[in-house]
Chains A and B, each alone.
Chain A
Amino acid sequence: MAAQIFSAITVIIVGVGGCVAYFWGANKLVDIIFPSRGVAGAAAIDNLRRQGMIRPWLFVGPAMIILTIYLIYPVVETLRLSFLDRGGANFVGLANYEWAFGDREFRNAIFNNIIWLAVVPAACTFLGLIIAVLTDKIWWGTIAKSLIFLPLAISFVGASVIWKFIYEYRGAGQTQIGLLNAIIQYFGGQPQVWISLPFWNNFFLMIILIWIQTGFAMVILSSALRGIPEETLEAAVIDGANPFQIFWKIMVPQIWGTIAVVWTTITILVLKVFDIVLTMTNGQWNSQVLANLMFDWMFRGGGDFGRGATIAIIIMIAVIPIMIWNIRQANKETGGH
């Protein structure tokens, strides 16, 4: 273990040192090859121009290389693999896609993903908005927000253990140590094995993600609400609007843009959700989702890269509209810069 700590520290030093050395060294090299000081006028201007051409690429170079290896090449390669067989050797055309849409487990995953997409972003945004509005009205709002925000720091696996403990089941009549069943039993109901109830178990898994992400929505929306001009709210009050009218007709329309951002961010997260399903049910009892199914096929029976890649592509297709929208928004904003 001491060796491990030592090697980690060495890597930090070597890594950071390497980065510094690269940027400093490359910069120096450009200065030496194309000197701009101490040479005659025309040559100096020429060299300055050359420096200006090269230097940006030195700065973005390392990032571009890493992005190419870790993100751009894999996107192309995954697309290619989705047309190949399990080992990636033979071309099989659309066979993997045909398999996917005929497979019961895959269709179950698609169905569940659609429910997740319909419920989680909406629930997080709605709860986040309500909490943001309410906490702004009370003196201990900051503390309340901090506590609701806290699960965002917890890993999905940790959150799964926390909620598995809440959902813990003991036979009827026994002492329940899971909070949910204890409450149900206290009010005279029957304890249930929540995570293996087909269909409804999806919702018990979704609660975990909603619990984690509501804080995110709350913080972003809270800051957007602060940006609403006081005058519009005061005018509404003078005109005799009630709190619900102020909320729905004055506040919400002014922060539509932010609501859309929160909604799409959580949507992307939902498409990638994997840890919660893996740790809670591993897709049993009809709770499968695409990301977990994809992970499963990467290793199932030695791994089927063709099918795994196909599922990844299907997740990607769902993300593309959001990606295009993002790029357009960003272009609009940076257009003037």
Chain B
Amino acid sequence: MAVATGKSFASRFGVHIAVFTFVAIWTVPTLGILVSSLRDKDQIIASGWWNSFASSTQTEAGRLPPASAQVEKDGKFVLEGNIFGDDPARDINSFGVKSSAPTQYPAGTTADLGDGETLQLNADGSFVMTSTKPFEGERGQRVYYASSAPPKFTTDNYNTVLFSEGIGRSFMNSLTVTIPATVIPILIAAFAAYALAWMRFPGRALLIAVIIGLLVVPLQMSLIPLLKLYNGVGSFFGVPSKTYLGIWLAHTGFGLPFAIYLLRSYIAGLPREIMESARIDGASDFEIFVKIVLPLSFPVLASFAIFQFLWVWNDLLVAMVFLGTEGDQIVLTAKLNALLGSRGGDWEILTTSAFITIVVPLIVFFSLQRYFVRGLLAGSVKGG
């Protein structure tokens, strides 16, 4: 579709700018949590993540030592030391002694505080305060200073989140839910799809219509009856009602209409001649399906597998209804939702957990995008 429009330089430039803007809006939010998850947790709240490569500046207050620490030198009374103590991790840019002017003097200069007192505060935090009269009082001089810290990146957040916040465990739970819930529907759907595409039997058209109808039935319709059913089965057999087996089957059920629909439209499009020549050679439907249809359908099976994987991995609703909220069952999405409640303002925890939640889908998505797009097109355009 190469339309010969926008020939002028200005309009072509405009297209580049417009697309660039769209791309920026669509990627910057995700970039924000990735960058934040790698930042030091004190810096996350001190400056926006877009400033994370610049030094973060903050203004703080400190106190010099009390009068008891003074020494007499050359007829002057002197207080010396480092305002950071033993850990000079930051650089001081400027300082002051009044809260109304906390950055009055540049670092390294000697400020005349009047009354014969001077104060010098250096960039590394060391200070010298002198006075012509002895210092008095229990409390030392109050000092304000603006300091900057170099950008600090760390993987500490990942350690914390994976091993002490329970995200690591939830990651395993998510895998436990997702893999069987992706594999089980494929075979069941493939057999049904073949029968609906190539076998003649009464009621076939009705079945296809029912499946297309079920494609759009909201999940909400199923939740309460299934919850009651699971509770009933659980108490009848004396087993827990929230089990992995339960959620595997639930996801299989919810995924089947799409699976059958997608596979059927693909399998129905396979060349008739292949089927017929195999049948003339005496192959049964079962043999045709296993030896011819399955191998030829690989692309569509892959498409469905990716869909189902992403859908199950990203699902919150089904997991919240059919799985428990304890450590041994809670999946990543539900855990992230719980953290939003309990660790609402702790962005180092939230951004890191969110990134761990989305990293698997992103990998799957990037490596198998071709199949994903193909499934998307087949699933929505053909039958509509």
Contacts and interface: CB of A to CB of B under 8 A. Distances in A.
B48 A70 contact: no
A123 interface: no
Interface in B368-384: 369, 373, 376-377, 380-384
A225 B1 contact: yes
A19 B184 contact: yes
Which size bracket describes the interface of A in this complex? 35 or more
Interface in A283-301: 291, 294-295, 298
A131 interface: yes
Contacts of A312: 218, 220-221, 223-224
A104 interface: no
A11 B247 CA distance: 13
B224 A154 contact: no
Contacts of A31: 284
Contacts of B225: 73-74, 77-78, 81
Contact of A62 (B28, B45, B188, B226): B188
B297 interface: no
A261 B199 CA distance: 29
B32 A162 contact: yes
A5 B50 CA distance: 40
Interface in B197-236: 199-201, 204-205, 207-229
Q: Which of B12, B27, B217, B347 has the most chain A CB atoms inside 10 A of its CB? A: B217
A196 interface: no
A202 to B, nearest CB: 19
Nearest to B264: A334
B83 to A, nearest CB: 23
Given A60-B195, A237-B5, A278-B337, A74 B28 contact: no
B321 interface: yes
Contact of A316 (B20, B191, B221, B252): B221
A243 B6 CA distance: 7
Contacts of B358: 153-155, 158
Interface string B30-55: 10110010000000111111100000
B73 interface: no
Given A19-B188, A155-B313, A78 B208 contact: no
A64 B193 CA distance: 11
B69 interface: no
Nearest to B45: A177
Q: Which of B189, B213, B224 has the most chain A CB atoms inside 10 A of its CB? A: B224
Given A77-B225, A148-B22, A237 B32 contact: no
Contacts of A265: 380
Interface in A216-269: 216, 219-220, 223-226, 228, 230, 233-234, 237, 242-243, 246, 257-258, 260-262, 264-265, 268
Contacts of A152: 365
Given A237-B4, A312-B218, A11 B317 contact: no
A59 B184 contact: no
Given A75-B217, A137-B3, A261-B384, A88 B365 contact: no
Q: Which of B223, B229, B361 has the most chain A CB atoms inside 10 A of its CB? A: B223
B364 interface: yes
B196 A150 contact: no
A161 B383 contact: no
Interface stretch (A38-46, A91-99, A107-115, A163-171): A163-171
B254 interface: yes
B310 interface: yes
Interface stretch (B60-68, B128-136, B175-183): B175-183
A56 B195 contact: yes
Nearest to A1: B172
Contacts of A4: 172-173, 176, 328
Top 5 A-B pairs, shortest CB-CB distance: A70-B253, A155-B314, A59-B195, A63-B192, A77-B225
Interface of A: 1, 4-5, 7-8, 11-12, 15-16, 19-20, 23-24, 27, 31, 52-53, 55-57, 59-60, 62-64, 66-67, 69-75, 77-78, 81, 88, 127, 131, 134-138, 140-141, 144, 146-158, 160-166, 168, 175-179, 182, 211, 214-216, 219-220, 223-226, 228, 230, 233-234, 237, 242-243, 246, 257-258, 260-262, 264-265, 268, 271-272, 274-275, 278-279, 291, 294-295, 298, 305, 308-309, 311-313, 315-316, 319, 322-323, 326-327, 329-331, 333-334, 337
Interface of B: 1-6, 12, 15-16, 18-20, 22-23, 25-30, 32-33, 36, 44-50, 169, 172-173, 175-176, 179-180, 183-184, 187-189, 191-192, 194-196, 199-201, 204-205, 207-229, 244-245, 248-250, 252-254, 256-257, 260, 268, 284-286, 289, 310, 313-317, 320-321, 328, 333, 336-337, 340, 347, 350-351, 353-354, 357-358, 361-362, 364-365, 369, 373, 376-377, 380-384
Given A70-B250, A77-B228, A219-B373, 20 more contacts: A12-B183, A56-B200, A71-B214, A74-B225, A138-B15, A154-B30, A161-B351, A165-B29, A165-B347, A168-B347, A175-B46, A225-B1, A243-B3, A246-B5, A257-B384, A261-B381, A275-B337, A279-B336, A279-B340, A309-B224
14 contacts: A19-B184, A59-B199, A75-B221, A146-B369, A148-B26, A151-B26, A154-B362, A158-B358, A166-B29, A177-B45, A211-B25, A233-B1, A246-B5, A278-B337
